[in-house]
């Protein structure tokens, strides 16, 4: 299931296994993970309840820098982000902004999709799903 801008994939794995698989897939492809934010833990620290939710901020400077040189405002969307959540117990979903949306949002030439699309395929492969642009 996906909208035109946010891709949403159901994970066949547990929440923790999904996060682990994504991090391992990024490492295997030499994609830098800049931060892993446990949003459930942050909510708990603020005395709020939240289901398991983790945001992974990742990227590849070789892929993203040309986009930022073409339009520095694309830095609002880079590095890339993937959200893993389990709002319904046992139903783990993975969401990310599509490469095409990022390119279109910042008025970049369509060929720049090729710089970001590999990340989508890595996410899909980690979940055993086919994701393509």
Contact 77, 105 (CB under 8 A): yes
The first and second tokens of residue 14, run together, are: 């547990």
| Per-residue CA distances from 53 to 88, 104, 112 (Å) | 11, 28, 30
Question: Is 133 within the bounds of a domain?
Answer: no
Question: Is 1 within the bounds of a domain?
Answer: no
Question: Is 15 within the bounds of a domain?
Answer: yes
| Per-residue CA distances from 14 to 20, 56, 62, 85, 86 (Å) | 10, 16, 32, 10, 9
Q: Is the predicted pLDDT of residue 1 greater than 90, yes or no?
A: no
Question: Is 131 within the bounds of a domain?
Answer: no
The predicted-structure confidence for 24-38, as pLDDT tens digits, reads as follows 999 999 999 999 999
Say whether pTM exceeds 0.75: yes
Question: Is 107 within the bounds of a domain?
Answer: yes
The predicted-structure confidence for 27-82, as pLDDT tens digits, reads as follows 999 999 999 999 999 999 999 999 999 999 999 999 999 999 999 999 999 999 99
Question: Is 132 within the bounds of a domain?
Answer: no
> For position 13, which CATH number holds?
3.30.310.70
Phi, then psi, of 48 in degrees rounded to 5: -120, 150
Total domains in the chain come to: 1
For residue 48, the enclosing domain spans 6-126
């Amino acid at each position: 299931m996906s909208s035109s801008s946010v891709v949403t994939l159901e994970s066949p794995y547990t929440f923790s296994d999904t996060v682990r698989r994504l991090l391992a897939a990024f490492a295997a492809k030499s994609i830098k993970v800049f931060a892993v934010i446990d949003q459930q833990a942050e909510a708990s620290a603020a005395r709020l309840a939240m289901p398991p939710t983790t945001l992974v901020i990742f990227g590849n400077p070789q892929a993203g820098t040309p986009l930022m040189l073409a339009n520095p405002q694309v830095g609002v969307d880079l590095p890339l982000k993937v959200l893993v959540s389990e709002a319904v117990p046992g139903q783990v979903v993975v969401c990310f902004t599509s490469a095409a949306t990022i390119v279109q949002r910042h008025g970049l030439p369509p060929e720049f999709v090729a710089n970001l699309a590999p990340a989508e395929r890595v996410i899909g492969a980690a979940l055993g799903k086919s994701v393509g642009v």
